[in-house]
Amino acid sequence: MKTIKGPGLFLAQFAGDAAPFNSWDSITKWAADCGYKGVQVPSWDGRLFDLKKAAESKAYCDEIAGKARDNGVEITELSTHLQGQLVAAHPAYDEAFDGFAVPEVRGNPRARQEWAVEQVKLALTASKNLGLDAMASFSGALAWPFVYPWPQRPAGLVETAFDELARRWKPILDHAEDCGVDVCYEIHPGEDLYDGITYEMFLERTGNHARACMLYDPSHYVLQCLDYLENIDIYKDRIRMFHVKDAEFNPTGRQGVYGGYQSWVNRAGRFRSLGDGQVDFGAVFSKMTANDFTGWAVVEWECCLKHPEDGAREGAEFVKAHIIRVTEKAFDDFADSGTDEAANRRMLGI
């Protein structure tokens, strides 16, 4: 067994135009001051990180990684959630997702998709230059508008969507193999990979690609009423990344999983700061440790009530308290009688 690394912090929800959140130097100092040992980097945010430069220059990667270390943290992974979303976007979401792309490809779905693929590949190369072995992403979605089976789905619709999704991702996954970096898909509603079954459908179509891995985040499973603990055991060999995020699901006589189009505060299912929701993190960390997860425990702050800076500081202490320093000996070693194979045979009467 290995001791999980952490705590880490995903910077996407904190990056902004005001100090200390507007530069790499200041935000890494702030994260360390909050108690974090690592930071997960949103690769699209130019205020913090130049993705193209990182893919082209090992020296640049050494520079930013060195600055982070000087400030007390290390880079845990890069994230391509927004670019991954655009690898496959149903036309119903063209306008909503256009803002994720650079201005020159907006309004042009084909150009936008090509840009997104190149962005994800750049992030994989940059990950290699940074000495990282995993990258976070979304899968994107073609079938999501048809997630509820009414009107009745035409035969083959979902299969065609997943065939196309795999076709688009296969060259990216092959590049990931060349870079020695896992693509860790965050299993998330709104993506075609939103639960275990859909992940398996995709995995099969990629030929069980070794780099098609998972980002485990129990909050998204709480809101789907999915068994988030059994999920760890089922996919332990594919879970290569871990977002520590809390959630609660409190259905009423008026609303349930779908939330009634309400704001986050008024939904039955809500994201909460760590310790304020319903996830049994004691059990989660125990299973992740027992299953030899060797990556980082990265806090993703998303809460409909608490201030983000409070959630960040509390989150660092929460993760520290849940990381299990693994034992190097069995608890009953004191009672070892020092028997050998001959003695074992005598004890068995053989």
Give pLDDT, residue 339. 76
Give pLDDT, residue 222. 98
Give the C-alpha separation, 202 to 161, whole Å.
10
Residues 6 or more apart in contact with residue 14 via CB below 8 angstroms: 21, 27, 301, 308, 312
Convert 170-211 into a string of H (helix), E (strand) and C (coil). HHHHHHHHHHCCEEEEECCECECCCCHHHHHHHHHHCCCCCC
The residue ranges of every structural domain in the chain are 5-348
Give pLDDT, residue 331. 65
The number of residues in the chain equals 350
Which residue ranges in the chain fall short of pLDDT 70?
330-335, 337
Give pLDDT, residue 332. 63
Tell me: domain 5-348, CATH 3.40.50.300, correct?
Answer: no
Give the C-alpha separation, 108 to 157, whole Å.
24
Give pLDDT, residue 335. 57
Taking each helix axis from N to C terminus, what angle separates 308-322 and 281-290, rounded to the nearest 10 degrees?
A: 50
Element (H, E) at 299: strand 296-299
**Is this prediction's pTM over 0.75?**
yes
